[in-house]
Amino acid sequence: MREQVIIIGAGPAGLAAAGRLRERDIPFVILEKGTGVAQCWRDHYDRLRLHTVKQFSHLPSLPFPEDYPLYVPKKELVAYYEAYAEKYNIQPVFNTTVTTIDKQDDTWTVNCTDGTVYTGASVILCAGMNRIPFSPTFLGQEDFQGKIIHSHDYQNPTPYQGKRVLVVGMGNSGAGIALDVCERGGEAGS
């Protein structure tokens, strides 16, 4: 029998890896810190949608449903990831935080905060690039009388209606949040 592969993270990359392993009958366990697949996508702001077209954004072997819009919104995206997990019988171990990963000879050992230890032939790290927000400090920030939040903590424009908002950064999240605030009664600049 083949030794299992340990996948850390049940977001898009972790699900894709698990799906491909399942297609090849390679045993695996998938560990997820959150309470559901694609936890980071679940936690992002309400209006979020993919910034790439659906034809080039699906996971291996499962295109998005035809009735999905060209730029898939958050709710449909999460439903798609859940359907992918169901199709490949991917059952992550949720609420599991990895503390250390060690290798001795040909065996990897993954230790978790609850004391559980997983061993395997390989580890695939799919923890995500946006799971830990980076918040820079700006000169004079301590004197600012308004509220400063990271896009990670933004959910919807309701608290900003009728207010002036400065969005710093015009990446995907910054552009989406600025548009969201402007269309819902705020005044955003970037």
| Degrees to nearest 5, angle at CA 21 with 15 and 27 | 110
Q: How far is residue 48's CA from residue 16's CA, in Å, rounded to a whole number?
A: 21
Listed range (39-43, 58-62, 168-172, 175-179) with the worst mean pLDDT: 168-172
Q: What is the pLDDT of residue 1?
A: 47
Helical pair 74-87 and 12-23, crossing angle rounded to 10 deg: 20
Q: What is the pLDDT of residue 122?
A: 97
Q: What is the pLDDT of residue 190?
A: 52
Tokens 């710093």 belong to which residue?
168
Query: Could you tell me which of 49, 20, 46 has the C-alpha nearest to residue 124?
Result: 20
Q: What is the pLDDT of residue 9?
A: 97
In the structure encoding, which two tokens stand for residue 138, read together? 């700006």
- Are residues 59 and 20 in contact, defined by beta-carbon separation less than 8 angstroms? no
Q: Which amino acid is at 51?
A: H
In the structure encoding, which two tokens stand for residue 5, read together? 């592969």
pTM: 0.87
